[in-house]
Amino acid sequence: MTTSSSRETILQLFRETPSGFVSGEHISKILGVSRTAVWKQISSLRDLGYQIEAAPSRGYRLLQSPDVMLAEELRHGLSVQVVGREIQTLAETDSTNARASALGDAGAPEGMVVIADRQTAGKGRLGRSWVSPEGVNLYLSVLLRPQILPMDASQLTFLSAVAVCRSIAAVSGLQPTVKWPNDVLLSGRKAAGLLNEMSSETDRVNYVILGIGVNLNMQAEQFPSQLRYPATSLAIETGRRISRVEFTRTLLAQIDALYELYKSHGPCPVLAEWEEYCDLTGKPIEVDCQSRLIRGVMSGLDTDGALLVKTADGLERVLAGDVRPAPPAPR
């Protein structure tokens, strides 16, 4: 048995025992190891931040679990079909997307999730970086192997956005909005970013990585002063600390449910729900496409996720760009 599966078994025993106390002898029998080995496992759980009481002749009792991103903690109470069947948690990595892609290339199964406590080279959209300090936020990547055409893979960005919005609402009671194509906002400030990456051949997808970064407990002073967009976190918006473990479990369950919906009903229900979270529909917008600026009224999404903008010259389909509300016309 690996250290992490032994720890998971011990945590399971604590949670299943109504009195709370589990004897060292019982744990050693279940794990098939010596009492000294049990004591070592208890110490390693304490080192991770679990508060465990030891009472002579009664055994051990779990007093409090820390908010640590450990696979064994995240799996507790998580009921999913595909997404999160396997979870890899890391103290640090360059980018969870890069790590998940490497796993995808090596044949890892659909639904595999990679989470890091900190990223040293977190990737944002359009070659930008994603600020990823330790211990406060969520940096997560999901490996999917959908049977779709490569041109439809961008639909999955909207699936991630809807899953993040549902999770924010469920965990914090806040009302998130979305900005095409990949931002989730709170009070008009960016709280989460999505970066999907794909490996494909001409007419088939090998895998898609859903990369999701959510600012959960980051404080205002932790944001770099020169951010492209105003940013916020759930903690700033609610005034309270958000449990990363609870948020992550909620998010995995939502991605799993939406992926089932996507596979059974196609992209329309997901795209329609995304549009409900979008407060710019029907409003004047500008889309900065780097080489040109498109001005018009946001009319919604095409079935492949392209943005539809009603301009003076007709309906434009936009595939990439930064959207913002149009500034008020000068009087």
Q: Which residues sit at the interface with ligand BTN, rule CB under 6 A?
A: 95-97, 119, 122-125, 128, 130, 139-141, 182-183, 193-195, 211-213
Nearest distance in Å: CB 197, ligand BTN: 9
CA dist 331 and 164 (Å) reads: 39
Nearest distance in Å: CB 185, ligand BTN: 11
- Beta-carbon contacts of 53 under 8 Å, excluding residues fewer than 6 positions away, are 60, 61, 63
Name which of 10 and 192 has its Cβ closer to ligand BTN.
Answer: 192
Kindly list the strands in the beta sheet with 51-55, ordered across the sheet, starting from the edge strand earlier in the chain: 21-22, 59-64, 51-55
Nearest distance in Å: CB 266, ligand BTN: 25
Name which of 124 and 269 has its Cβ closer to ligand BTN.
Answer: 124
Are residues 161 and 272 in contact, defined by beta-carbon separation less than 8 angstroms? no
Nearest distance in Å: CB 98, ligand BTN: 7
Name which of 60 and 139 has its Cβ closer to ligand BTN.
Answer: 139
Name which of 27 and 113 has its Cβ closer to ligand BTN.
Answer: 113
Are residues 179 and 164 in contact, defined by beta-carbon separation less than 8 angstroms? no
Tell me the two tokens of residue 75: 């799996």
CA dist 240 and 184 (Å) reads: 19
HSE, CB side, 13 Å, CA atoms: give it for residue 273. 20
Minimal CB distance to ligand BTN: which residue? 193
Nearest distance in Å: CB 119, ligand BTN: 6
The per-residue DSSP string of 74-85 comes to: HTTT---SSTTS
Name which of 63 and 102 has its Cβ closer to ligand BTN.
Answer: 102
